[in-house]
Amino acid sequence: MLTETPRLRLRQWTEKDKEPFAQLNSDPEVMRFLRPVMTRAESDAAIEAQMALMEKGEPAFWAAARKSDDHLIGCIGVKHVSFEASFTPTYEIGWRLAREHWGLGYATEGAKAALGLAFANWEISEIHSFTVLANVKSQAVMTRVGMSRVEGGDFDHSALAKDDPLLRHVLYRIKKRDN
């Protein structure tokens, strides 16, 4: 386990996480602002990629589970950004929760813990977060964890086609001293 909050554990992925993670990754509403829904193989590969980062001691998106029963509700974490943009290289904080866990404060609670963990354990001076313009719920989480929208920072995501409706993103940032 990496860290706990009052209601969550941010921890290493396990085999039992694969099915619930695949379920949330196949939900069109969960994936609405991220990408097309994932197959089971793609979802399992995403877990394996995060496990590989963790095994190397690098920041990653960790399994987010309820403390009460260790049930996986999604992922929350910090990882290196792998695409080119005006603000990269950088680290990104992000979250993805199963729909039944939306609106309960889990994303904010877990993201605050992930920020603290990242700033304390890796030499990271600032962390970014970004989402499509329409994803106001994630933008609200970004604000609640102390991030500020970067003035003039909106950008077209380089990994997306120019006609993709998810192309335009807003950019938020938090510096270590802000946390």
Query: Per-10-residue mean pLDDT for the chain, 179 residues long?
Result: 91 97 98 94 97 95 97 97 90 98 97 96 95 96 98 93 94 85
Q: Which residues pair with 130 in a beta bridge?
A: 171
Among positive and negative, which fits the CA dihedral 22, 66, 109, 52? Answer: negative
Tell me what pLDDT residue 178 has.
58
pLDDT value, residue 22:
98
Residue 84's pLDDT is: 87
Specify the pLDDT at position 177: 77
pLDDT on residue 35:
81
Question: What pLDDT score does 1 carry?
Answer: 58
Model pTM? 0.94
Three-state SS for 87?
coil
- Residue 126 CB coordination number (10 Å): 15
Give the pLDDT score at 107: 98
What superfamily would CATH give domain 3-178? Gcn5-related N-acetyltransferase (GNAT) (3.40.630.30)
| Closest of 169, 121, 129 to residue 145, by C-alpha | 129
Alpha carbons 52 and 15: distance in angstroms, whole number: 14
Question: What pLDDT does 159 receive?
Answer: 87
Closest C-alpha to 168, from 176, 160, 92, 140: 160
pLDDT, one tens digit per residue, over 63-109 is 999 999 999 999 999 999 988 889 999 999 999 999 999 999 999 99
